[in-house]
Amino acid sequence: MSTFKGMAAAGLWVALTLTALPAMAASGTALGVNPQAEADTSGQSRVLTVGADIFIGDKVSTGAKGQVQIKFSDKTELVVGPNSSLLIEDYLLREDQSAGKLAINALSGTFRFATGGAPKDRYVIKTPTGTIGVRGTAFDFNVDAEGTEVLLFHGAVRLCNLAGTCVTLDDTCEIGTYDLTQSTILGDPADLTKDQRAALKANFKYAEVQSPLLRQFWVENARQCFNKGFVNDTPRSLMDGDDDTPAVEQPCGDNGCCGDSNCCGEDDSECAN
C-alpha cells in the first residue's frame, strides 16, 4: 500500500471533505492539531484531529485561523495555510521510499511546498488558471480564481497558464505570477515598488512570519527575502507574531530562540518563537 506520514497544525479549524476511496489509497496521519476538531469517515465534511488519517481524494479546507502541515514519506513538505483549500489527487510511493507521483490541486489560498527525494517530474501542482512545474525546490504560493503568485526560495519552478504561456523562476526570492492571459516574472522583492510589495506581502504569509509553523517547515532564507524587499514595510506586530498560541509549541530558551541561534537579529525582540 502506498502511504505517507502526515503532519498537521491548526489554529481554529481544519476540515477534510472525503470522497469515495479505492482500497489501495494512500493514507497519512495528522499530528499537532487544535483540539477543537472532529472527524467523520462517512464521506461527509469532518474537522481534522490529532491522529486523523488523510487519503487520496481528500479535500483539505481551512478556516481563518486553520492550517495543515503535511510531511510525506519521501520527505516532501506541504503547508495549507488559513482560508485555503486543496485536493490531494494522487500519491504513489515507490519501494525506495521516493514519490512515484504526487499530484495536488490547489483550489484557493496560501501554501508552502518543498520537494522531497523524488525526481522533479514526479510532482504535479494544478491551480484554477494553470500549473506549477516543480524542479526540486521550496516555494510559497498564493492561489485565487484570477491567478497564482509564487515566491521561490531555492531551486526552480516553471509557471504555465492554461493558454500554455510559461515562465521559469530560478533565482532566490524571485516572484512570478500567472493568470488566464499571461505568465510574468515580477523579479526580486527589492526591485518592486512599495505599493507592489504591500500588495504582495499579505499573500506570502509564511515568508513574512514563520512562527506559526513547526520548525521543520521553516525555510532558512525566507527572512532574507523579506529583509531585502518587504521588511521595512512590515508592521512590527506582524514581525513579532500575534497572540494565537501555536498548536504545537517548540521548547524555547531564555532568549526565545527555541534552540536556534539563527532565529534572532541583533535585537532579541526580533526572535521568532
Residue 235, domain extent: 14-243
Whose CA is closest to 187, among 152, 224, 154?
A: 152
User: Within a domain: residue 83?
Assistant: yes
For residue 168, being part of any structural domain is answered with yes
Counting the structural domains of the chain, the total is 1
Instruction: Count CA within 13 A, CB hemisphere, residue 112.
Output: 28
Q: Does 147 map to a domain?
A: yes
Q: Which residues contact 128 (CB under 8 A, 6 or more apart)?
A: 107, 108, 143, 144, 145
- Which residue is it, cell 532574507? 224
Determine which helix (DSSP H) or strand (DSSP E) holds 208, and give its type and residue range: helix 205-208
Counting beta carbons within 10 angstroms of the beta carbon of residue 81, is it exposed (0 to 12), middle (13 to 18) or buried (19 or more)? Answer: buried
pLDDT in tens for each of the 273 residues of the chain?
444 444 443 333 455 544 434 434 443 445 444 333 233 334 666 666 655 666 777 888 888 878 888 877 778 888 888 888 888 888 776 656 555 688 999 999 999 999 887 677 788 899 999 999 998 899 999 999 999 999 999 999 999 999 999 999 999 999 999 999 999 999 998 888 888 888 888 889 898 889 888 888 999 878 788 665 444 343 333 333 443 333 333 333 444 344 444 444 434 444 444
Which cell goes with 119?
A: 525526481
CATH number at residue 28: 2.60.120.1440
- Residue 266 placed within a domain: no
**Residue 262, in any domain of the structure:** no
Model pTM score: 0.73
Work out the end-to-end distance of the chain between its first and last CA atoms, rounded to an integer number of angstroms: 38
- Measure the CA–CA gap between 98 and 115, rounded to whole angstroms: 11
| Rg, the chain, Cα only | 18
